[in-house]
């Protein structure tokens, strides 16, 4: 197993993590009863971008190569700006941890596709054949994502549920 095969599966898994966090941030902006039109519009856009990241990650794993890298590079930048803008639109109910985690994952995805684009431009005769994915690389990436995404999603929920007095309600699941 080469280093390239080991790392090839990472962008798709990192896109899944960023997509989950982005969709959660967007959903949190939409579901707040006191959210305004700007927060709703930004939230809808972030949910769409999050779902697009999830779909792209699946297509990359299926195809065995990075697909539409230029579009993904632009989408990563737009998503980073979108989650950061949410911090300014709804600062009290947006998790800084979630925004930082999503941005970090999106920077990794963007850097991966930028390197891919640069390599593709240097070798004009590059063929677009599917490359094998590394199961070990996929498992390591999934472990890294679990450590980053799970706390970010928890922080997103806490930020959305935050009351004006600074407390978070306890949700009981009695009878389950």
The predicted structure's pLDDT at residue 1 = 47
Quickly state the pLDDT bin for 82 (edges 50, 70, 90): very high
b/e map 39-64, b = 16+ CB within 10 Å: bbebbebbbebbebbbebbeebbeee
The predicted structure's pLDDT at residue 68 = 92
User: Please, what is the average pLDDT of the chain?
Assistant: 83
Instruction: Give the tens place of pLDDT for each residue, 17-41.
Output: 999 999 999 999 998 777 789 989 9
Quickly state the pLDDT bin for 92 (edges 50, 70, 90): confident
Instruction: Give the tens place of pLDDT for each residue, 99-119.
Output: 999 999 999 999 989 988 888
């Amino acid at each position: 197993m080469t280093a390239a095969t080991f790392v090839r599966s990472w962008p798709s898994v990192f896109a899944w993590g960023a997509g989950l966090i982005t969709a959660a941030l967007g959903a949190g902006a939409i579901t707040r009863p006191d959210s305004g039109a700007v927060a709703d519009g930004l939230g809808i856009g972030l949910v769409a971008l999050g779902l697009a990241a999830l779909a792209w990650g699946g297509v990359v794993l299926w195809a065995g190569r990075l697909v539409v890298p230029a579009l993904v590079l632009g989408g990563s930048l737009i998503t980073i700006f979108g989650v950061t803008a949410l911090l300014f639109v709804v600062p009290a109910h947006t998790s800084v941890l979630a925004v930082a985690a999503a941005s970090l994952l999106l920077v990794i995805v963007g850097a991966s596709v930028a390197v891919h684009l640069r390599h593709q431009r240097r070798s004009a005769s590059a063929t677009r054949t599917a490359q094998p994915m590394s199961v070990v690389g996929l498992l390591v990436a999934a472990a890294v994502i679990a450590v980053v995404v799970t706390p970010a999603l928890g922080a997103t929920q806490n930020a959305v549920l935050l009351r004006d007095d600074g407390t978070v309600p306890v949700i009981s699941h009695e009878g389950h």
